[in-house]
Structure 1
């Protein structure tokens, strides 16, 4: 029996679920700000308002907390690409994907920075997700885009570099939020981003008129 009275039959108690959620939320703040290497259990404990031994009751250490966060992040982060509809209007589908990614950068900047920090370190803890989840998804999306190109429904371009470009032009607002905030002269970081990106990708992808 654990500290809150949960058993193997009943599963985690309400208090346990609440404390795990507090730890995960605090860790998201700490990891997104300091990166994996700079983050400490003491920082996470302080942010969560729990003792370090209490943190270690729920998780074996910093790495398990980080992996838990990354696992939760991947499903959310890949969802917009999964919604790319091969039967839809190609330009509309791609622009909708751009807007969804931009909204995610607005809504989940900490998650974006957490993912970026992991990739910058060589993806030591998320590599299985890149091979098992992200790679097949990008392969399918690239095939869909190539099919639209072959049918003359969008202008020729490299599908994978198009996807990379969308990531770069949307997640930048989250990953470089501090820099963007300074350079926008008091305006919101993504103010004007939607119409700019719509124009950018429309001009790139609209088929040439005969």
Structure 2
């Protein structure tokens, strides 16, 4: 957060830190910085990224970037905070239903769609986790863990009732993440090894894979 930002990210007027809304130009410039940073962080990782690279990508000077953010870590944390909300939305929408198999397949396809439409975000998340999640640990513990516990209990209930096939609910979710996010995190490898219509083939494959696993 920059010295020009209040506790909720609003600009302040310097008189008692009263928050005031950001201008249209400020919002536009912050968005440019974050979009450029997403390119840099997803390709280079946090440690391999520099403010100079982010500034170049945003078409701004380094001092201008530092007007909006305190530094590289502040930009990275801002991206991760925004990403976690979007990343967890498909899991949040998994609710009790008369058609649990269809609900789970909707979740699988939502995760796969995110890998094809948000590959930079997926790689940003993967890079952070591979480094031990130093900036995301609070989110994983306070946000993701209770949500996963809740949804695993729901899935386990479906299994106990014989509505879907039995397997370990937690590792089922881990497998969904691993299979679907592969297409984003290893996009370069997939592109080299499969020159066909990758997305269409992936959609058919994951549907067959998880539908067969979960059909009673």
- Partner Cα distance (2:19, 2:185) in 1: 43
Decide which of 105, 116, 137 is 1:127's aligned counterpart: 137
Superposed, which structure 2 residues align to 1:60-79 within 5 Å? 60-79=70-89
Give the aligned partner of residue 152 of structure 2: 142
Say if 2:163 is the partner of 1:153.
Answer: yes
Output the TM-score relative to the length of structure 2: 0.91
Kindly tell me the number of residue pairs found equivalent between the two proteins: 203
- Partner Cα distance (2:12, 2:71) in 1: 21
Superposed, which structure 2 residues align to 1:28-177 within 5 Å? 28-177=38-187
The runs of at least 4 aligned residues of structure 1 exceeding 3 Å deviation read: 5-10
User: CA 1:196 to 1:16, structure 2 compared with 1: closer, same or farther past 3 Å?
Assistant: same
| Equivalent residues of 1:101, 1:171 under 8 A apart | yes
In the alignment, structure 1 segments of 5+ residues that lack a partner are none
- Partner Cα distance (1:71, 1:121) in 2: 17
- Partner Cα distance (1:29, 1:99) in 2: 25
| Equivalent residues of 1:146, 1:159 under 8 A apart | yes
Decide which of 196, 207, 210 is 1:187's aligned counterpart: 196
| Equivalent residues of 2:51, 2:62 under 8 A apart | yes
In the alignment, structure 2 segments of 5+ residues that lack a partner are 5-10
Deviation at 1:63, TM superposition (A): 0.3
Q: What SS does the aligned partner of 1:192 have?
A: helix
Deviation at 1:9, TM superposition (A): 5.7
| Equivalent residues of 1:112, 1:175 under 8 A apart | yes
Say if 2:202 is the partner of 1:199.
Answer: no
Deviation at 1:39, TM superposition (A): 0.3
Output the TM-score relative to the length of structure 1: 0.93
Q: Which moved more, 1:7-16 or 1:117-126?
A: 7-16
- Partner Cα distance (2:30, 2:67) in 1: 10
| Equivalent residues of 2:97, 2:103 under 8 A apart | no
Q: What SS does the aligned partner of 1:190 have?
A: helix
> After superposition, what is the alpha-carbon deviation per residue over 1:19-66, rounded to whole angstroms, capped at 9, x for unaligned?
111000000000000000000000000000000000111111000000
Give the aligned partner of residue 35 of structure 2: 25
Deviation at 1:198, TM superposition (A): 1.0
- Partner Cα distance (2:183, 2:200) in 1: 10
